[in-house]
Amino acid sequence: MTSRTLRILTVSFFFLATAASSLAAQKQGMSHQHLKPETAALIERLKSGGHVLVVRHERTNAFIPDDREFEIGSCETQRNLSVAGHANALENGAVIRFLKLPVGKVFASPMCRTLETARLMFGRVEANETLFGRGTDPDTERSTFEALILEGARQEQNTVLVTHLGTYSAALGGHLAEGDTAVFSVSDGKPEFLGVVPANGWNDAIIDATMHSGRMDAEPKHN
């Protein structure tokens, strides 16, 4: 038996074994889950309300950055949502409603990309300067941001804060990609970080939910 023939037989055996394993799993009724278990558990916790979702705005058009002298009230001078970011915000909002996650107040930085993300996802928003954050000293930025989380976590429903990476990192540490959602509760009077639902995590959540139910129900209306 030549070495080439041996390699072919080895590869063939691998694929046959993989196929057999897949068929055995199907016979045992095992279902594939797209979400990581910890992300699925995090989303499940949100059904009880009383959490704070800190969302970095959705994907933006990186080819058109903020002007050096941008104006908060002028979207033409800012880096705004891309076509993909617009679509993702709409889809993620639809998933949150489909999963019946209770959402109460929605706040966002007064920049256009954050306000638009909030409106597309939740249908409503209130501008909040704390979520913009630039121009304040680090201690004040951190304390005011933490105060928003503490207040939000006291509510019956979940509170949403849509912000920027720089503001989030300065106030709370860590990193969020565009469209990511960090989830917080409160422990010993301080914000407690529970984890991140990645930007594509909401889509995976609805895939898993519809796979398990076997059907797609009609989309619920806005909260």
List, for residues 131-164, the tens digit of each pLDDT value: 998 766 888 889 999 999 999 999 999 999 999 9
Whether residue 113 contacts residue 78, with contact meaning beta carbons closer than 8 Å, is answered with yes
3-state SS assignment for residue 197: strand
Whether residue 54 contacts residue 182, with contact meaning beta carbons closer than 8 Å, is answered with yes
Whether residue 115 contacts residue 96, with contact meaning beta carbons closer than 8 Å, is answered with no
Report the C-alpha dihedral over residues 109, 125, 106, 149, rounded to 10 degrees.
30
pTM of the model: 0.80
Supply the pLDDT for residue 42: 96
CA geometry: angle 76, 80, 81, nearest 5 deg: 145
Supply the pLDDT for residue 8: 43
Q: How far apart are CA 121 and CA 105, in angstroms?
A: 13
3-state SS assignment for residue 64: coil
pLDDT in tens, 48-105: 999 999 999 999 999 999 998 889 889 999 999 999 999 999 999 999 999 999 999 9
Q: How far apart are CA 47 and CA 98, in angstroms?
A: 12
Confidence of residue 25 (pLDDT cuts 50, 70, 90): very low
Quote the distance between the C-alpha of residue 42 and its chain's center: 11
* 3 state SS for 94-161: HHHHHCCCCEEEEEECCCHHHHHHHHHHHCCCEECHHHCCCCCCHHHHHHHHHHHHHHHHCCCCEEEE
Supply the pLDDT for residue 53: 98
Q: DSSP class of residue 81?
A: B
